[in-house]
Structure 1
Protein backbone atom coordinates (compact mmCIF):
# COMPACT_ATOMS: atom_id res chain seq x y z
CA UNK A 1 0.00 0.00 0.00
CA UNK A 2 1.42 3.46 -0.92
CA UNK A 3 2.61 5.63 1.98
CA UNK A 4 -0.04 8.31 1.34
CA UNK A 5 -2.82 5.70 1.39
CA UNK A 6 -1.56 4.37 4.72
CA UNK A 7 -1.50 7.88 6.19
CA UNK A 8 -5.08 8.59 5.10
CA UNK A 9 -6.24 5.19 6.37
CA UNK A 10 -4.73 5.93 9.78
CA UNK A 11 -6.38 9.35 9.84
CA UNK A 12 -9.80 7.87 9.05
CA UNK A 13 -9.40 5.18 11.72
CA UNK A 14 -8.27 7.82 14.23
CA UNK A 15 -11.30 9.97 13.40
CA UNK A 16 -13.64 7.04 14.03
CA UNK A 17 -11.93 6.19 17.31
CA UNK A 18 -12.05 9.78 18.54
CA UNK A 19 -15.76 10.02 17.82
CA UNK A 20 -16.43 6.69 19.49
CA UNK A 21 -14.50 7.81 22.58
CA UNK A 22 -16.62 10.95 22.73
CA UNK A 23 -19.79 8.88 22.44
CA UNK A 24 -20.90 10.57 19.24
CA UNK A 25 -21.73 7.33 17.42
CA UNK A 26 -20.52 4.03 16.03
CA UNK A 27 -18.42 3.76 12.84
CA UNK A 28 -21.42 2.77 10.70
CA UNK A 29 -23.45 5.78 11.89
CA UNK A 30 -20.58 8.18 11.23
CA UNK A 31 -20.05 6.67 7.76
CA UNK A 32 -23.74 7.13 6.94
CA UNK A 33 -23.67 10.70 8.23
CA UNK A 34 -20.64 11.50 6.07
CA UNK A 35 -22.45 9.98 3.07
CA UNK A 36 -25.55 12.05 3.86
CA UNK A 37 -23.42 15.20 4.12
CA UNK A 38 -21.84 14.47 0.72
CA UNK A 39 -25.21 13.93 -0.92
CA UNK A 40 -26.60 17.02 0.82
CA UNK A 41 -23.75 19.12 -0.57
CA UNK A 42 -24.37 17.71 -4.05
CA UNK A 43 -28.10 18.53 -3.95
CA UNK A 44 -27.60 21.90 -2.27
CA UNK A 45 -25.12 23.07 -4.90
CA UNK A 46 -27.67 22.45 -7.65
CA UNK A 47 -30.81 24.06 -6.22
CA UNK A 48 -30.71 23.91 -2.41
CA UNK A 49 -32.49 21.66 0.05
CA UNK A 50 -29.44 19.90 1.48
CA UNK A 51 -30.80 20.43 4.98
CA UNK A 52 -33.71 18.12 4.11
CA UNK A 53 -31.13 15.33 3.84
CA UNK A 54 -28.58 16.04 6.56
CA UNK A 55 -30.81 17.28 9.40
CA UNK A 56 -33.04 14.15 9.44
CA UNK A 57 -29.89 12.00 9.11
CA UNK A 58 -28.40 13.68 12.19
CA UNK A 59 -31.60 13.32 14.22
CA UNK A 60 -32.07 9.66 13.22
CA UNK A 61 -28.41 8.68 13.53
CA UNK A 62 -27.89 10.48 16.84
CA UNK A 63 -31.24 10.36 18.68
CA UNK A 64 -29.81 12.02 21.79
CA UNK A 65 -28.64 15.06 19.79
CA UNK A 66 -30.75 18.17 20.63
CA UNK A 67 -32.59 19.59 17.57
CA UNK A 68 -30.75 22.91 17.99
CA UNK A 69 -27.40 21.06 17.80
CA UNK A 70 -28.57 19.24 14.67
CA UNK A 71 -29.48 22.59 13.07
CA UNK A 72 -26.18 24.19 14.08
CA UNK A 73 -24.08 21.22 12.94
CA UNK A 74 -25.95 21.15 9.63
CA UNK A 75 -25.37 24.90 9.14
CA UNK A 76 -21.64 24.42 9.62
CA UNK A 77 -21.55 21.88 6.82
CA UNK A 78 -23.90 23.97 4.67
CA UNK A 79 -21.77 27.12 4.98
CA UNK A 80 -18.67 25.32 3.71
CA UNK A 81 -20.44 23.51 0.88
CA UNK A 82 -22.38 26.58 -0.28
CA UNK A 83 -19.26 28.75 -0.14
CA UNK A 84 -17.38 26.30 -2.38
CA UNK A 85 -20.32 26.20 -4.82
CA UNK A 86 -20.47 30.02 -4.81
CA UNK A 87 -16.77 30.28 -5.65
CA UNK A 88 -17.11 27.68 -8.41
CA UNK A 89 -20.09 29.45 -10.01
CA UNK A 90 -18.66 32.96 -9.64
CA UNK A 91 -15.48 31.97 -11.47
CA UNK A 92 -17.57 31.08 -14.53
CA UNK A 93 -20.54 33.45 -14.10
CA UNK A 94 -19.42 36.45 -12.01
CA UNK A 95 -21.79 38.92 -10.36
CA UNK A 96 -20.78 42.58 -9.78
CA UNK A 97 -19.16 42.97 -6.36
CA UNK A 98 -21.35 45.97 -5.49
CA UNK A 99 -24.49 43.86 -5.91
CA UNK A 100 -23.04 41.02 -3.84
CA UNK A 101 -22.12 43.36 -0.97
CA UNK A 102 -25.30 45.42 -1.04
CA UNK A 103 -27.47 42.29 -0.84
CA UNK A 104 -25.13 39.92 1.02
CA UNK A 105 -24.74 42.06 4.15
CA UNK A 106 -28.51 42.41 4.79
CA UNK A 107 -28.85 38.66 4.12
CA UNK A 108 -26.39 37.94 6.95
CA UNK A 109 -28.12 40.30 9.37
CA UNK A 110 -31.67 39.10 8.71
CA UNK A 111 -30.64 35.45 8.80
CA UNK A 112 -29.13 36.05 12.24
CA UNK A 113 -32.40 37.66 13.33
CA UNK A 114 -34.29 34.64 12.00
CA UNK A 115 -32.07 32.26 13.96
CA UNK A 116 -32.67 34.33 17.11
CA UNK A 117 -36.42 34.18 16.45
CA UNK A 118 -36.31 30.37 16.56
CA UNK A 119 -35.55 30.69 20.28
CA UNK A 120 -38.83 32.51 20.92
CA UNK A 121 -41.31 31.62 18.16
CA UNK A 122 -42.79 28.26 17.12
CA UNK A 123 -41.63 27.55 13.56
CA UNK A 124 -44.79 25.47 12.97
CA UNK A 125 -46.79 28.64 12.37
CA UNK A 126 -44.90 29.14 9.09
CA UNK A 127 -45.48 25.64 7.73
CA UNK A 128 -48.94 26.09 6.10
CA UNK A 129 -47.87 29.43 4.58
CA UNK A 130 -44.71 27.95 3.09
CA UNK A 131 -46.57 24.86 1.90
CA UNK A 132 -49.09 27.02 0.02
CA UNK A 133 -46.30 29.16 -1.50
CA UNK A 134 -44.35 26.12 -2.68
CA UNK A 135 -47.41 24.58 -4.35
CA UNK A 136 -48.05 27.86 -6.22
CA UNK A 137 -44.39 27.98 -7.32
CA UNK A 138 -44.56 24.39 -8.56
CA UNK A 139 -47.68 25.08 -10.62
CA UNK A 140 -46.09 28.24 -12.03
CA UNK A 141 -42.98 26.33 -13.18
CA UNK A 142 -45.08 23.58 -14.75
CA UNK A 143 -47.25 26.00 -16.74
CA UNK A 144 -44.42 28.42 -17.59
CA UNK A 145 -41.74 26.11 -19.02
CA UNK A 146 -39.92 29.04 -20.65
CA UNK A 147 -39.34 30.77 -17.29
CA UNK A 148 -35.64 30.93 -16.38
CA UNK A 149 -34.37 29.72 -19.75
CA UNK A 150 -33.22 33.04 -21.15
CA UNK A 151 -31.05 35.79 -19.72
CA UNK A 152 -32.25 39.20 -20.91
CA UNK A 153 -29.39 40.92 -19.06
CA UNK A 154 -31.38 44.03 -18.22
CA UNK A 155 -29.46 46.56 -16.11
CA UNK A 156 -30.60 46.39 -12.48
CA UNK A 157 -32.23 49.72 -11.64
CA UNK A 158 -32.39 51.28 -8.17
CA UNK A 159 -36.03 50.18 -7.95
CA UNK A 160 -35.05 46.59 -8.73
CA UNK A 161 -32.21 46.76 -6.23
CA UNK A 162 -34.59 47.99 -3.51
CA UNK A 163 -37.03 45.17 -4.33
CA UNK A 164 -34.14 42.67 -4.24
CA UNK A 165 -33.12 44.07 -0.86
CA UNK A 166 -36.58 43.58 0.63
CA UNK A 167 -37.09 40.09 -0.77
CA UNK A 168 -33.60 38.83 0.04
CA UNK A 169 -33.84 40.21 3.58
CA UNK A 170 -37.13 38.30 3.98
CA UNK A 171 -35.58 35.12 2.56
CA UNK A 172 -32.56 35.59 4.83
CA UNK A 173 -34.86 35.79 7.87
CA UNK A 174 -36.69 32.69 6.62
CA UNK A 175 -33.42 30.77 6.24
CA UNK A 176 -32.38 31.50 9.81
CA UNK A 177 -35.86 30.79 11.16
CA UNK A 178 -37.10 27.82 9.12
CA UNK A 179 -34.85 27.13 6.13
CA UNK A 180 -36.13 24.50 3.65
CA UNK A 181 -35.98 25.66 0.03
CA UNK A 182 -34.01 28.88 0.66
CA UNK A 183 -31.76 28.35 -2.38
CA UNK A 184 -34.77 27.74 -4.60
CA UNK A 185 -36.54 30.89 -3.37
CA UNK A 186 -33.42 32.93 -4.06
CA UNK A 187 -33.07 31.59 -7.61
CA UNK A 188 -36.74 32.28 -8.35
CA UNK A 189 -36.52 35.82 -6.96
CA UNK A 190 -33.40 36.64 -8.95
CA UNK A 191 -34.85 35.09 -12.11
CA UNK A 192 -38.24 36.76 -11.76
CA UNK A 193 -37.15 40.27 -10.79
CA UNK A 194 -33.81 40.49 -12.57
CA UNK A 195 -34.84 38.60 -15.72
CA UNK A 196 -31.85 36.30 -15.28
CA UNK A 197 -31.56 32.72 -16.48
CA UNK A 198 -31.65 30.01 -13.81
CA UNK A 199 -27.93 29.44 -14.34
CA UNK A 200 -26.95 33.08 -13.79
CA UNK A 201 -29.41 33.41 -10.91
CA UNK A 202 -27.95 30.28 -9.29
CA UNK A 203 -24.46 31.79 -9.36
CA UNK A 204 -25.76 34.94 -7.65
CA UNK A 205 -27.99 32.99 -5.26
CA UNK A 206 -25.16 30.81 -3.96
CA UNK A 207 -23.29 33.86 -2.71
CA UNK A 208 -26.42 35.20 -0.97
CA UNK A 209 -27.19 31.73 0.43
CA UNK A 210 -23.65 31.59 1.83
CA UNK A 211 -24.37 34.90 3.57
CA UNK A 212 -27.65 33.66 5.06
CA UNK A 213 -25.91 30.50 6.29
CA UNK A 214 -23.16 32.58 7.93
CA UNK A 215 -25.69 34.76 9.75
CA UNK A 216 -27.55 31.77 11.20
CA UNK A 217 -24.31 29.91 11.96
CA UNK A 218 -23.05 32.82 14.06
CA UNK A 219 -26.13 32.62 16.30
CA UNK A 220 -25.89 28.83 16.63
CA UNK A 221 -22.18 29.12 17.49
CA UNK A 222 -22.58 31.68 20.27
CA UNK A 223 -25.36 29.57 21.77
CA UNK A 224 -23.16 26.45 21.76
CA UNK A 225 -25.43 24.59 19.33
CA UNK A 226 -22.69 23.07 17.15
CA UNK A 227 -21.06 19.68 17.63
CA UNK A 228 -17.69 20.75 16.24
CA UNK A 229 -16.00 17.33 16.34
CA UNK A 230 -18.62 16.06 13.93
CA UNK A 231 -19.40 19.32 12.11
CA UNK A 232 -15.90 19.71 10.64
CA UNK A 233 -15.71 16.30 8.90
CA UNK A 234 -19.32 16.70 7.76
CA UNK A 235 -18.34 20.08 6.28
CA UNK A 236 -15.50 18.45 4.32
CA UNK A 237 -17.87 15.78 3.01
CA UNK A 238 -20.43 18.47 2.11
CA UNK A 239 -17.78 20.37 0.15
CA UNK A 240 -16.94 17.23 -1.83
CA UNK A 241 -20.59 16.85 -2.84
CA UNK A 242 -20.85 20.56 -3.59
CA UNK A 243 -17.83 20.41 -5.89
CA UNK A 244 -19.40 17.61 -7.93
CA UNK A 245 -22.86 19.21 -8.06
CA UNK A 246 -21.74 22.70 -9.08
CA UNK A 247 -19.54 21.38 -11.88
CA UNK A 248 -22.42 19.22 -13.10
CA UNK A 249 -24.68 22.27 -13.26
CA UNK A 250 -22.10 24.27 -15.21
CA UNK A 251 -21.90 21.39 -17.69
CA UNK A 252 -25.66 20.75 -18.00
CA UNK A 253 -27.04 24.27 -17.50
CA UNK A 254 -30.57 25.55 -16.93
CA UNK A 255 -32.43 22.32 -17.74
CA UNK A 256 -30.79 20.52 -14.82
CA UNK A 257 -31.64 23.36 -12.41
CA UNK A 258 -35.27 23.40 -13.52
CA UNK A 259 -35.61 19.62 -13.13
CA UNK A 260 -33.95 19.74 -9.69
CA UNK A 261 -36.26 22.59 -8.66
CA UNK A 262 -39.39 20.59 -9.53
CA UNK A 263 -38.08 17.56 -7.63
CA UNK A 264 -37.30 19.74 -4.60
CA UNK A 265 -40.79 21.26 -4.73
CA UNK A 266 -42.33 17.77 -4.78
CA UNK A 267 -40.22 16.67 -1.79
CA UNK A 268 -41.00 19.84 0.17
CA UNK A 269 -44.74 19.55 -0.45
CA UNK A 270 -44.75 15.92 0.73
CA UNK A 271 -42.59 16.64 3.78
CA UNK A 272 -44.42 19.78 4.91
CA UNK A 273 -47.81 18.23 4.11
CA UNK A 274 -47.08 15.19 6.28
CA UNK A 275 -45.85 17.40 9.10
CA UNK A 276 -48.99 19.52 8.87
CA UNK A 277 -51.08 16.34 9.18
CA UNK A 278 -49.00 15.26 12.15
CA UNK A 279 -47.71 12.15 10.37
CA UNK A 280 -44.04 13.13 10.23
Structure 2
Protein backbone atom coordinates (compact mmCIF):
# COMPACT_ATOMS: atom_id res chain seq x y z
CA UNK A 1 0.00 0.00 0.00
CA UNK A 2 1.41 3.45 -0.89
CA UNK A 3 2.51 5.72 1.93
CA UNK A 4 -0.47 7.93 2.89
CA UNK A 5 -0.53 10.36 5.78
CA UNK A 6 -3.51 10.61 8.13
CA UNK A 7 -4.93 13.80 6.56
CA UNK A 8 -4.78 12.35 3.04
CA UNK A 9 -6.48 9.16 4.23
CA UNK A 10 -9.22 11.21 5.93
CA UNK A 11 -9.83 13.12 2.68
CA UNK A 12 -10.00 9.86 0.73
CA UNK A 13 -12.54 8.49 3.20
CA UNK A 14 -14.59 11.70 2.87
CA UNK A 15 -14.45 11.34 -0.92
CA UNK A 16 -15.66 7.75 -0.57
CA UNK A 17 -18.55 8.79 1.68
CA UNK A 18 -19.65 11.55 -0.71
CA UNK A 19 -19.23 9.30 -3.74
CA UNK A 20 -21.35 6.60 -2.11
CA UNK A 21 -24.19 9.04 -1.43
CA UNK A 22 -24.10 10.49 -4.95
CA UNK A 23 -23.88 7.05 -6.54
CA UNK A 24 -26.85 5.76 -4.56
CA UNK A 25 -29.09 8.66 -5.58
CA UNK A 26 -28.19 9.27 -9.22
CA UNK A 27 -24.81 7.71 -10.01
CA UNK A 28 -21.61 9.55 -10.90
CA UNK A 29 -19.80 9.04 -7.60
CA UNK A 30 -16.77 7.69 -9.42
CA UNK A 31 -16.05 11.21 -10.66
CA UNK A 32 -15.43 12.11 -7.02
CA UNK A 33 -13.74 8.94 -5.80
CA UNK A 34 -11.46 8.10 -8.75
CA UNK A 35 -9.76 11.54 -9.01
CA UNK A 36 -9.13 11.39 -5.25
CA UNK A 37 -7.43 8.01 -5.63
CA UNK A 38 -5.35 9.26 -8.56
CA UNK A 39 -3.80 11.84 -6.20
CA UNK A 40 -2.28 9.09 -4.03
CA UNK A 41 1.52 9.27 -4.43
CA UNK A 42 2.94 6.40 -6.45
CA UNK A 43 -0.39 4.92 -7.56
CA UNK A 44 -0.74 4.00 -11.23
CA UNK A 45 -3.91 4.77 -13.24
CA UNK A 46 -4.77 1.06 -13.49
CA UNK A 47 -4.30 0.61 -9.72
CA UNK A 48 -6.55 3.62 -9.10
CA UNK A 49 -9.21 2.22 -11.45
CA UNK A 50 -9.07 -1.21 -9.80
CA UNK A 51 -9.09 0.17 -6.24
CA UNK A 52 -11.97 2.47 -7.15
CA UNK A 53 -13.98 -0.61 -8.16
CA UNK A 54 -13.52 -2.14 -4.71
CA UNK A 55 -14.88 0.99 -3.07
CA UNK A 56 -17.71 1.26 -5.58
CA UNK A 57 -18.87 -2.35 -5.37
CA UNK A 58 -19.16 -2.09 -1.59
CA UNK A 59 -21.43 0.92 -1.98
CA UNK A 60 -23.50 -0.43 -4.86
CA UNK A 61 -24.11 -3.70 -3.00
CA UNK A 62 -25.76 -1.79 -0.13
CA UNK A 63 -27.70 0.66 -2.31
CA UNK A 64 -28.88 -2.16 -4.61
CA UNK A 65 -30.15 -4.14 -1.60
CA UNK A 66 -31.86 -1.07 -0.14
CA UNK A 67 -33.58 -0.20 -3.42
CA UNK A 68 -34.57 -3.85 -3.92
CA UNK A 69 -36.33 -3.98 -0.53
CA UNK A 70 -38.01 -0.58 -0.77
CA UNK A 71 -38.71 -0.06 -4.49
CA UNK A 72 -38.82 -3.55 -5.99
CA UNK A 73 -36.98 -2.87 -9.29
CA UNK A 74 -38.14 -4.62 -12.46
CA UNK A 75 -35.90 -7.72 -12.62
CA UNK A 76 -37.10 -8.45 -16.16
CA UNK A 77 -34.98 -5.46 -17.13
CA UNK A 78 -32.33 -5.54 -14.42
CA UNK A 79 -31.29 -9.19 -14.77
CA UNK A 80 -30.47 -9.37 -18.51
CA UNK A 81 -29.03 -5.85 -18.48
CA UNK A 82 -26.78 -6.69 -15.52
CA UNK A 83 -25.54 -9.94 -17.10
CA UNK A 84 -24.69 -8.21 -20.38
CA UNK A 85 -23.00 -5.37 -18.51
CA UNK A 86 -20.90 -7.75 -16.40
CA UNK A 87 -19.51 -9.55 -19.45
CA UNK A 88 -18.85 -6.27 -21.28
CA UNK A 89 -17.14 -4.80 -18.20
CA UNK A 90 -14.60 -7.65 -18.17
CA UNK A 91 -13.65 -6.79 -21.74
CA UNK A 92 -13.60 -3.09 -20.98
CA UNK A 93 -11.26 -3.61 -18.03
CA UNK A 94 -8.91 -5.60 -20.24
CA UNK A 95 -8.79 -2.63 -22.64
CA UNK A 96 -8.36 0.00 -19.90
CA UNK A 97 -4.58 0.05 -19.91
CA UNK A 98 -4.48 0.51 -23.70
CA UNK A 99 -6.45 3.77 -23.87
CA UNK A 100 -4.52 7.06 -23.44
CA UNK A 101 -5.44 8.77 -20.16
CA UNK A 102 -5.76 12.17 -21.87
CA UNK A 103 -8.62 10.83 -24.00
CA UNK A 104 -10.86 10.11 -21.03
CA UNK A 105 -11.84 13.60 -19.87
CA UNK A 106 -13.12 15.05 -23.19
CA UNK A 107 -15.21 11.92 -23.83
CA UNK A 108 -16.88 12.07 -20.40
CA UNK A 109 -17.35 15.84 -20.69
CA UNK A 110 -19.21 15.59 -24.00
CA UNK A 111 -21.40 12.80 -22.64
CA UNK A 112 -22.26 14.80 -19.51
CA UNK A 113 -23.12 17.92 -21.54
CA UNK A 114 -25.43 15.89 -23.76
CA UNK A 115 -27.10 14.23 -20.78
CA UNK A 116 -27.62 17.53 -18.92
CA UNK A 117 -29.03 19.29 -22.00
CA UNK A 118 -31.40 16.41 -22.76
CA UNK A 119 -32.71 16.23 -19.18
CA UNK A 120 -33.26 19.99 -18.88
CA UNK A 121 -35.02 20.14 -22.25
CA UNK A 122 -37.55 17.49 -21.15
CA UNK A 123 -38.86 18.46 -17.70
CA UNK A 124 -41.69 15.92 -17.80
CA UNK A 125 -39.53 12.94 -18.68
CA UNK A 126 -38.92 10.54 -15.80
CA UNK A 127 -41.88 11.60 -13.67
CA UNK A 128 -43.74 8.35 -14.34
CA UNK A 129 -42.86 5.03 -15.91
CA UNK A 130 -44.08 4.67 -19.50
CA UNK A 131 -42.17 1.83 -21.14
CA UNK A 132 -41.55 2.26 -24.86
CA UNK A 133 -41.44 -1.46 -25.70
CA UNK A 134 -42.59 -4.76 -24.28
CA UNK A 135 -41.34 -8.33 -24.53
CA UNK A 136 -38.31 -9.16 -26.64
CA UNK A 137 -37.81 -5.61 -27.93
CA UNK A 138 -37.59 -4.30 -24.37
CA UNK A 139 -35.14 -7.03 -23.36
CA UNK A 140 -33.08 -6.46 -26.51
CA UNK A 141 -32.79 -2.75 -25.78
CA UNK A 142 -31.82 -3.49 -22.17
CA UNK A 143 -29.12 -5.91 -23.35
CA UNK A 144 -27.72 -3.35 -25.78
CA UNK A 145 -27.55 -0.67 -23.10
CA UNK A 146 -25.93 -3.14 -20.72
CA UNK A 147 -23.19 -3.98 -23.22
CA UNK A 148 -22.42 -0.35 -24.09
CA UNK A 149 -22.38 1.03 -20.56
CA UNK A 150 -20.75 -2.08 -19.10
CA UNK A 151 -17.85 -1.77 -21.54
CA UNK A 152 -17.44 1.90 -20.60
CA UNK A 153 -17.46 1.08 -16.90
CA UNK A 154 -14.76 -1.53 -17.37
CA UNK A 155 -12.57 0.90 -19.31
CA UNK A 156 -13.00 3.87 -16.97
CA UNK A 157 -16.16 3.94 -14.88
CA UNK A 158 -16.87 7.46 -13.56
CA UNK A 159 -20.37 8.57 -14.47
CA UNK A 160 -21.58 5.01 -15.18
CA UNK A 161 -24.45 5.24 -12.71
CA UNK A 162 -25.64 8.53 -14.22
CA UNK A 163 -25.44 7.13 -17.75
CA UNK A 164 -27.42 4.07 -16.63
CA UNK A 165 -30.13 6.23 -15.08
CA UNK A 166 -30.52 8.47 -18.12
CA UNK A 167 -30.51 5.45 -20.47
CA UNK A 168 -33.23 3.75 -18.43
CA UNK A 169 -35.28 6.97 -18.37
CA UNK A 170 -34.63 8.24 -21.89
CA UNK A 171 -34.44 5.00 -23.87
CA UNK A 172 -36.58 2.49 -21.98
CA UNK A 173 -39.07 4.90 -20.39
CA UNK A 174 -38.70 4.40 -16.64
CA UNK A 175 -39.35 7.08 -14.04
CA UNK A 176 -36.24 8.36 -12.23
CA UNK A 177 -36.70 6.39 -8.99
CA UNK A 178 -37.18 2.90 -10.52
CA UNK A 179 -34.45 3.74 -13.04
CA UNK A 180 -32.07 4.49 -10.19
CA UNK A 181 -33.05 1.21 -8.50
CA UNK A 182 -32.32 -0.83 -11.65
CA UNK A 183 -29.12 1.13 -12.24
CA UNK A 184 -27.73 0.03 -8.88
CA UNK A 185 -28.14 -3.65 -9.73
CA UNK A 186 -26.51 -3.17 -13.12
CA UNK A 187 -23.73 -1.00 -11.65
CA UNK A 188 -22.98 -3.72 -9.09
CA UNK A 189 -22.57 -6.16 -12.00
CA UNK A 190 -20.26 -3.82 -13.95
CA UNK A 191 -18.06 -3.33 -10.89
CA UNK A 192 -17.92 -7.09 -10.40
CA UNK A 193 -17.02 -7.60 -14.06
CA UNK A 194 -14.14 -5.14 -13.86
CA UNK A 195 -12.84 -6.78 -10.67
CA UNK A 196 -12.94 -10.20 -12.34
CA UNK A 197 -10.16 -8.85 -14.55
CA UNK A 198 -8.33 -6.56 -12.11
CA UNK A 199 -8.04 -8.88 -9.08
CA UNK A 200 -6.12 -11.75 -10.75
CA UNK A 201 -3.75 -9.17 -12.25
CA UNK A 202 -2.89 -7.78 -8.81
CA UNK A 203 -4.06 -4.26 -9.65
CA UNK A 204 -6.11 -3.70 -6.48
CA UNK A 205 -4.60 -1.94 -3.44
CA UNK A 206 -6.76 -3.73 -0.90
CA UNK A 207 -6.12 -1.71 2.25
CA UNK A 208 -6.93 1.54 0.51
CA UNK A 209 -9.87 0.07 -1.36
CA UNK A 210 -11.48 -1.33 1.79
CA UNK A 211 -11.00 1.94 3.69
CA UNK A 212 -12.61 4.00 0.94
CA UNK A 213 -15.20 1.28 0.37
CA UNK A 214 -16.37 1.31 3.98
CA UNK A 215 -17.06 5.04 3.71
CA UNK A 216 -18.70 4.50 0.30
CA UNK A 217 -20.94 1.84 1.84
CA UNK A 218 -22.19 4.23 4.54
CA UNK A 219 -22.81 7.01 2.01
CA UNK A 220 -24.67 4.59 -0.26
CA UNK A 221 -26.97 3.48 2.54
CA UNK A 222 -27.87 7.06 3.44
CA UNK A 223 -28.28 8.08 -0.20
CA UNK A 224 -30.52 5.15 -1.11
CA UNK A 225 -32.86 5.84 1.81
CA UNK A 226 -33.07 9.54 0.88
CA UNK A 227 -33.78 8.69 -2.76
CA UNK A 228 -36.58 6.31 -1.83
CA UNK A 229 -38.10 8.90 0.53
CA UNK A 230 -37.83 11.76 -1.98
CA UNK A 231 -39.11 9.83 -5.00
CA UNK A 232 -38.51 10.52 -8.69
CA UNK A 233 -38.75 14.32 -8.34
CA UNK A 234 -35.93 14.37 -5.77
CA UNK A 235 -33.77 12.02 -7.84
CA UNK A 236 -34.27 14.18 -10.96
CA UNK A 237 -33.20 17.37 -9.18
CA UNK A 238 -30.11 15.74 -7.69
CA UNK A 239 -29.32 14.22 -11.08
CA UNK A 240 -29.36 17.62 -12.81
CA UNK A 241 -27.24 19.23 -10.06
CA UNK A 242 -24.65 16.43 -10.08
CA UNK A 243 -24.31 16.28 -13.87
CA UNK A 244 -24.06 20.08 -14.08
CA UNK A 245 -21.28 20.14 -11.47
CA UNK A 246 -19.47 17.38 -13.33
CA UNK A 247 -19.66 19.39 -16.56
CA UNK A 248 -18.10 22.40 -14.81
CA UNK A 249 -15.34 20.35 -13.20
CA UNK A 250 -14.50 18.38 -16.34
CA UNK A 251 -14.66 21.50 -18.49
CA UNK A 252 -12.16 23.25 -16.20
CA UNK A 253 -9.89 20.22 -16.26
CA UNK A 254 -10.05 20.09 -20.07
CA UNK A 255 -9.13 23.79 -20.33
CA UNK A 256 -6.16 23.23 -17.99
CA UNK A 257 -4.99 20.20 -20.00
CA UNK A 258 -5.15 22.17 -23.23
CA UNK A 259 -3.27 25.06 -21.65
Contact 2:3 2:41 in 1 (8 A): no
Partner of 2:8: 29
1:129 CA displacement: 4.3
Distance of 2:42 and 2:179 partners within structure 1: 39
TM-score by structure 2 length?
0.91
Residue of structure 2 aligned with 1:136, choices 103, 106, 114: 114
1:57–1:146 CA distance, 2 compared to 1 (3 A): same
1:267 CA displacement: 2.5
Residue of structure 2 aligned with 1:163, choices 141, 149, 173: 141
Partner of 1:57: 36
1:239–1:120 CA distance, 2 compared to 1 (3 A): same
Distance of 2:46 and 2:106 partners within structure 1: 22
Partner of 1:265: 243
Partner of 1:203: 181
Distance of 1:142 and 1:239 partners within structure 2: 30
Partner of 1:221: 199
1:208 CA displacement: 0.4
1:130 CA displacement: 3.9
Distance of 1:100 and 1:23 partners within structure 2: 37
Contact 1:187 1:201 in 2 (8 A): yes
Q: How many aligned positions are there?
A: 258
Distance of 2:115 and 2:203 partners within structure 1: 33
Partner of 1:177: 155
Contact 2:19 2:30 in 1 (8 A): yes
1:31–1:251 CA distance, 2 compared to 1 (3 A): same
Q: Which runs of 5+ in 2 are unaligned?
A: none
Deviation readout 1:138-196 (Å, 9 max, x if unpaired): 12211211110112367732112111211221011011112222111111111223321
Distance of 1:168 and 1:126 partners within structure 2: 20
1:58 CA displacement: 2.1
Q: Which runs of 5+ in 1 are unaligned?
A: 1-21
With 250-259 and 196-205 compared, the bigger mean Cα shift is at: 250-259
CA RMSD of aligned residues (A): 2.1
